[in-house]
Amino acid sequence: MIVCAWLRWYRNVVPLLAVALFAPTAASALAAVNLVETETLREAVAEGKLPPIGQRVPAVPLIGEYNQDIGSAGKHGGTLNMLIGKARDVRMLYVYGYARLVGYDRDLKLVPDILEGIDVEDNRVYTIRLRKGHRWSDGHPFTSEDFRYYWEDVVNNKALTPTGPPSGLLVEGEPPKFEVLDRTTVRYSWTKPHPEFVSSLAAASPLLIYRPAHYLRKFHEKYAKKVAKKSAKGRRRSWSAVHNKKDASYRFNNPDLPTLQPWMNTTHPPADRFLAVRNPYFHRIDQDGRQLPYIDQVEMVIVDFKLISFKTGAGEADLQGRGLQFGDYTFLKRNEKRNEFRTLLWYSGKGTQFGLFPNLNANDPVWRALLRDVRFRRALSLAIDRSLINQVLFFGLAIEANNTVLADSALYKPEYRSEWARYDKKAARKLLDELGLKRGLDGIRKLPDGRPLEIIVETAGESTEQTDILELIRETWREVGIKLFSKPSQRDSFRDRIFAGETLMSVWSGLENAVPSADMSPGDLAPTNQNQLQWPKFGQYYETGGRKGVLADIPEVVELSKLFATWRASSSTEERENIWHRMLKIHADQQFVIGTVCGVPQPIVARTSLMNVPERGLYNWDPGAYFGIHRMDSLWFK
């Protein structure tokens, strides 16, 4: 009981970035916890194949916090079945397992996970401290050598990585100074601030700055002389291609590669079924001293993506979120009892489920001028009946909103959500009249050059939900004099047309990360990427360093770019918070992306006997890693 209370305090310690030093006080806690051997590994330990539990967990393991509101500790055993759409998705084991150097907890606070601690100085110098006695899944020690190998022999080796260190390690093109201080401590130092470093370590697809050196060394020309001659199989001759192939930490399709995740893949591709077994050297334990994960095995079966909801309804998955959408909810509920599972409703973490992206780089000059006029975009937004969309498609369970952050985020303000997002036909008509768009005899307005105001909105053709929402929008836009044609396309040509400026308006989901904190990058709010469908050419300009694309010339967009640059160079959380607010305000004001609903319910199916699955949770890629922050290692079968 004392341990419980102590742990609760330990868990609520102030977020690490505000603290200079994170003291490893858990050592005293460990002394009070007796380690219990994992039942399923008892035999292997008795035969001497594995060392006993005391030598398998680090000296100071992470004491895993499972959901206090559900309560009880779990027991070891069981196989969890999940369904995936293609072989590449076996990397979901890495995502769901969510063992990161630093990770998010359920409240989206950054907490050291694999690391014992991380010291942040001025957002420029990061000192990383590993846990003593932490081992890879094959028993070899996890030390600073694994970081050094990555830095010197992987990213700074021209043959292996011709593009050099990843952009996550560069600050304005400048690489860090890397030092190994001792066996369990390394340090990265930059001359300018790099506030994104820690959050990029905690991402679902993280900045991975370490490798299992003892394994990969066998494929590196510097350490293994006969490696270069391995050209018998496949089209590969070069050792670098072989090394890159073996180095599948994220892809998770090399069973021989040691990992730090709770389960390790044991199936070689190609396969239709992947089996992952527990990692006997996992660094987390529960508060009764049992090593996590509770579940022994995870099995992932490949099925056609469209069949996932069908098969889940037939009871073939123990835990499933991928491939299920809200439209499947009634079907799943109906089959619950018969197939022994329960259907939970979590919520999506996207800025908006369905967003309209007016193309500010459209080729047609008349349309381009019109789309760039903020009054037009505001009128379009005012003419959308969001509550109708909510009722018809989501049973009223979603939230009507702009494309902005969710209420979960500390940066949320109600006006970001509601500005220009009400349903007001009169105000919309007024704005359109102000723009000089006269109505014709049939009620449809005309462009300045006489053509009728007919917008062709293109979709990627992958979701009937999008087409349905466009139908609803068409009705209300017609009442203010705008004609809408929807054109489902195919993802590649859909994207190509937008990039080329052929498309007037497109449909996609909104902000990828709608639960940010001030220290997460606001890159999505500024032109940084060609894939931002509202300003593809501005984004391309930034991405290619000015070689292609068009420099932003709209004053508000230029301001967003400036703010983003300031954020990257800023040195205090407060300053970053202010910048975020200014950027969010501009977006709400300018309606660059017209949002409709957010917080869309996401059905999650869980077996009746599977415990510790939260009733309601955030289902988001980054931050969140889908099931990651909900700690899959703490799930157990009754």
Partner 1 sequence: MLNYTIHRILIMIPTLLMISLVTFTVIKLPPGDFLSNQIAELQSQGDKQALEKAEFLREQYGLDKPFIEQYATWVGIWPGARGYSGLIQGDWGWSFEYDLPVKDVVGDRLMLSFILNFTTILFTWAVAFPIGVYTAVRQYSWADHSLTFLGYVGLATPNFLFALVLMYFANVQFGLSIGGIMEPQYLGQSWSWDKALSVANHLWIPVIVIGTSGTAGMIRRLRANLLDELQKQYVVTAKAKGMPPLRRLIKYPLRMSLNPFIADIGNLLPSVISGSAIVAVVLSLQTSGPMLLDALQSQDQYLAGSFLMFLSLLAAIGMFISDLLLAALDPRIRLSGGVAK
Q: Applying CB under 8 A, which residues contact partner 1? A: 86-88, 162-163, 166-168, 203, 205, 231, 233-235, 237, 241, 245, 267, 269-273, 299, 301, 303-304, 307, 310-311, 314, 316, 492, 495-496, 529-531, 543-544, 622
Q: How far is the CB of 236 from partner 1 (least distance, A)?
A: 8
Instruction: Pick the closer one to partner 1 by CB: 98 or 376.
Output: 98
Nearest distance, CB of residue 311 and partner 1, angstroms: 5
* 3-state secondary structure string across 533-576: CCCHHHHHHHHCCCCCCCCCCCHHHHHHHHHHHHHHHCCCHHHH
Q: How far is the CB of 129 from partner 1 (least distance, A)?
A: 26
**Nearest distance from C-beta of residue 492 to partner 1, angstroms:** 7
Give the three-state DSSP class for 341: strand
- CB nearer to partner 1: give 153 or 622: 622
**271 or 388, CB closer to partner 1?**
271
- Cβ proximity to partner 1: between 190 and 282 the closer is 190
For residue 461, what are its two tokens?
């053709």
Nearer to partner 1, 235 or 426 (CB): 235
Q: What is the 3-state secondary structure (H, E, C) of 612-630?
A: CCCCCCEECCCCCCCCHHH
* Distance in Å, CB of 247 to partner 1, minimum: 12
> Nearest CA to 92 among 102, 77, 82?
82
> Do the beta carbons of residue 318 and residue 80 sit within 8 Å?
yes
Half-sphere exposure of 583 (CA within 13 A, CB side): 29
What DSSP designation does 171 have?
Answer: B
CB of 466 to partner 1, least distance (A): 17
Closer Cβ to partner 1, 52 or 166, answer by number: 166
CB nearer partner 1, residue 132 or residue 236: 236
In whole angstroms, give the CA distance from residue 572 to residue 419. 29
Strand partners, 84: 302
Judged by beta carbon, residue 43 or residue 496, the one nearer partner 1 is: 496
DSSP-assigned letter for residue 346:
E
Separation of alpha carbons 603 and 346, rounded Å:
6
Q: Which is nearer to partner 1, 230 or 311 (CB)?
A: 311
Fill in the DSSP letter of residue 269.
S
Nearer to partner 1, 256 or 272 (CB): 272
- Give the relative orientation of helices 374-382 and 573-590 as an angle to the nearest 10 degrees: 80
> How far is CA 105 from each of CA 112, 131, 412, 480, 629, rounded to the nearest angstrom?
10, 19, 19, 46, 5
CA angle 603, 522, 188 (to 5 degrees): 105
- φ, ψ dihedrals at 388, nearest 5°: -65, -45
Shortest reach from residue 395's CB to partner 1, in Å: 25
In whole angstroms, give the CA distance from residue 289 to residue 64: 10
Least Cβ distance, residue 530 to partner 1 (angstroms): 8
> How far is Cα 157 from Cα 150, in angstroms, rounded to an integer?
10
316: CB partners within 8 A, 6+ apart: 81, 83, 301
Work out the number of other CB atoms within 10 angstroms of the CB of residue 323. Answer: 21
**Least Å distance between CB 282 and partner 1?**
25
Nearest-approach distance from CB 475 to partner 1, in angstroms: 31
